[in-house]
Amino acid sequence: MASSLNLLVLDGDGIGPEIVAATLQVLRAAQTTFGFDLDYTRADIGWAAHRKSGTTCPDDIFERARQADGVILGPVSHNDYPPREQGGLNPSGELRRRLDLYANIRPARSRPGFPPRCGAPVDLVIVRENTEGFYADRSMHLGPGEYMPTPDLALATRKVTRRGSTRIAEAAFALAAQRRRKVTAVHKANVLRVSDGLFLECVRAVAARHPDIAYEERLIDAMAALLVRDAGPFDVVVTTNMFGDILSDEASEIAGSLGLAASLNAGADHAVAQAQHGSAPDIAGKNIANPSSLIGSVAMLLAWLGERRGDERLANAARGIEAALDRVLAQADGRARDLGGHLDTDAFGARVAAEVKRT
């Protein structure tokens, strides 16, 4: 019997609808090629939802996301939204918090025909804690984590918990067991002695339970420099929210381009595929955006579902999409415009879809 997949598709803002459409081309090709049933429903978020209902993230979105097997989330322009009290919620942050998507998995991998920017090939994964840290919408139970007691004083609260640190460490070691069996913890405990000290204490405890996996630690400033020098020695990198956000963009750009950077937000029960980049409103509607990041993110979602279900169809579909992306990007005429090619958004999606069917 065919596998059954029910997804919630959220187009988002800016280039979101365009790259989502291209990604769905690829997903439908994978459905046909690898033999799983695909059903998806769409819902408005972002500015489209705000115009209709006065909020960028309607309440029913979260229940629909819980009922779906997975979510495809287009980029959002949350920096331009009105204040929360006027309906300006960040859909990405709200989904991560309300669905408890504690792990943001961001691979950075060199692709054939597209040389890395710093010499040596890159093949690492950054496992970023996704629900705590300095992020103002994730560090407080009520109200934002940034506040101003006086007009001349701004404060920010950082949240680091034992539970959050332990489970993100467990996710990193589980991933390393499937790769090259090495974990690097990135921190700033020499300055943030209490919060990063707790994070490191938890990671070390998890490392002690996995003696077969190599473990090391790096300061965040040193790690940023080491990635530029040579990213080759790193396999799985685990770190807190803000450090992981910054390092993953750096690693992806070193590997080739942020436009190629896939990303999966995952928890115990739910997962959201989301491009690593933003909504690029300056090129919205021009059909020139690169959909590679979201296509790769959907491949990660299929792999996550395939592993949870023990379903080889979905696992093979994930590998097939990744292989198709590699083949298209390796061709001189197979790149989107941001990578020096000539393919429009929909044409790139069609090219990758065609490669998936030839798998």
Strands (E) located in 141-227 = 146-150, 153-156, 182-187, 214-219
Mean pLDDT of the chain: 94
Catalytic residue among 249, 311, 326, 344: 249
pLDDT by residue (tens digit) across 194-253? 999 999 999 999 999 999 999 999 999 999 999 999 999 999 999 999 999 999 999 999
The three-state secondary structure class of 276 is coil
Choosing from 81, 102, 135, 215, which is the catalytic residue? 135
304-330: pLDDT as tens digits? 999 999 999 999 999 999 999 999 999
Catalytic position from the list 11, 196, 235, 245: 245
1-101+261-359 with 116-126+133-255: one CATH topology?
A: yes
Tell me the two tokens of residue 103. Answer: 């792990």
- Is 269 a known active-site residue? no
Active site residue 188: yes
Instruction: Tell me which H or E stretch contains 266.
Output: strand 264-266
319 sits in which H/E element:
helix 312-330
Read off the tokens for 109.
């991998």
| CATH number of the structural domain 1-101+261-359 | 3.40.718.10
Classify 237 as helix, strand or coil: strand
- The two tokens of residue 221 are 């400033």
Q: What is the CATH number that goes with domain 116-126+133-255?
A: 3.40.718.10
**Catalytic-role residue among 221, 230, 269, 286:** 221
- pLDDT score for 1: 44
Q: Residue 112: pLDDT band by 50, 70, 90 thresholds?
A: confident
Q: Is 40 a catalytic residue?
A: no
Q: Is there a catalytic annotation at residue 357?
A: no
Whether residue 245 lies in the annotated active site: yes
Alpha-carbon distance 294 to 278, whole Å?
A: 11
The tens digit of pLDDT for each residue in 254-264 reads: 998 888 999 99
Is the Cβ–Cβ distance between 158 and 191 less than 8 Å? no
Domain boundaries, the chain: 1-101+261-359, 116-126+133-255
Residue 64 confidence (pLDDT) above 50: yes
Q: Active-site residue among 69, 188, 196, 235?
A: 188
Q: In this structure, are residues 297 and 262 in contact, taking their beta carbons and an 8 Å threshold?
A: yes
